Amino acid sequence: DAKTTQPPSMDCAEGRAANLPCNHSTISGNEYVYWYRQIHSQGPQYIIHGLKNNETNEMASLIITEDRKSSTLILPHATLRDTAVYYCIVRVPNRASNYKLTFGKGTLLTVNP
Amino acid sequence: DGGITQSPKYLFRKEGQNVTLSCEQNLNHDAMYWYRQDPGQGLRLIYYSQIVNDFQKGDIAEGYSVSREKKESFPLTVTSAQKNPTAFYLCASKTNTEAFFGQGTRLTVV
């Protein structure tokens, strides 16, 4: 699986958009970008994933650059409850060799009042 | 409701004792995982299982053991050989596209 690089921490004001970057310069053509988040002392929660088109759901938007070497998770109106560690991972779904699911250290997003 | 359940939420053990953490899922997922998380750190993979009666070591398997006798269950034993067992342990199961996590077990060894 391609390696990802994320900033260790970010701050955001409540009500503003939070933009979390992720670099994945070695991503291969069939690898998807996945985002999860972990609120303190809980299990991680799936947010969104995408291949090359921008994606949006009720939680967030995912913007993937045209060369697919980086992506940005956007929380359009951050709330205090969005304070969490956000993990970006890349992997190929539906591939048996990809069962080894690994996470990095992620980005600690702190939403301030 | 479908989901993945870890028990107990908090666990205390004396040093030198083996302890088994429970993980049960009713999502009918083949793949299951155990992770360890230390304060301020990411998730580190201990063991994973792709199918019943099969499992593989992750990145930090030393001092741990697992079994996968049933599809629904993937218990983790923290043995006395694990040098620093105090940590937050997370279990997960996965479809082809998405991973589902339990709420974790916080193990404290005194």
- pLDDT tens-digit map of B54-104: 999 999 999 999 999 999 999 999 999 899 999 999 999 988 778 899 999
Burial class (CB in 10 A: 0-12, 13-18, 19+), B70: exposed
Q: Which residues on chain B are in Cβ contact (under 8 Å) with A106?
A: 42
- pLDDT score recorded for residue B72: 97
Indicate yes or no: CB of B99 within 8 angstroms of CB of A46: yes
- pLDDT score recorded for residue B98: 84
Name the nearest CA neighbour of A32 among A72, A102, A89: A89
- pLDDT score recorded for residue A95: 58
Cis omega before residue B39 (within 30°)? no
pLDDT tens-digit readout, A100-110: 777 888 999 99
> What is the spatial distance between Cα B110 and Cα B107, in angstroms, rounded to a whole number?
10
- B interface toward A at CB cutoff 8 Å? 4, 31, 33, 35, 41-43, 45, 48, 50, 56, 58-59, 88, 90, 92, 94, 96-104, 106
Q: Are B48 and A101 in contact (CB under 8 A)?
A: yes
Q: Which residues on chain A are in Cβ contact (under 8 Å) with B56?
A: 99-100
Q: Is A63 helix (H, G, I), strand (E, B) or coil?
A: strand
Kindly state the percentage of chain B with pLDDT values over 90: 82
Q: Within chain A, which residues score under 50 in pLDDT?
A: none
- pLDDT score recorded for residue A5: 94
Q: How far is CA A57 from CA A28, A33, A39, A75, A101, in A?
A: 24, 15, 19, 10, 23
Q: For B8-24, what is the mean pLDDT? A: 94
- pLDDT score recorded for residue B65: 97
Q: For B31-53, what is the mean pLDDT? A: 91
Q: For B14-34, what is the mean pLDDT? A: 94
Q: Are A109 and A10 in contact (CB under 8 A)?
A: yes
Q: For B17-40, what is the mean pLDDT? A: 93
Kindly state the percentage of chain B with pLDDT values over 70: 98
Q: Residue B41's pLDDT band (boundaries 50, 70, 90)? A: confident
Size of interface A-B (CB pairs under 8 A): 58
- pLDDT score recorded for residue B40: 79
Kindly state the percentage of chain A with pLDDT values over 70: 93
Q: Which runs of E-coded beta strand occur in chain B?
A: 4-7, 10-13, 19-25, 31-37, 43-51, 54-57, 64-66, 76-78, 87-94, 99-101, 105-109
In residues, how long is chain A? 113
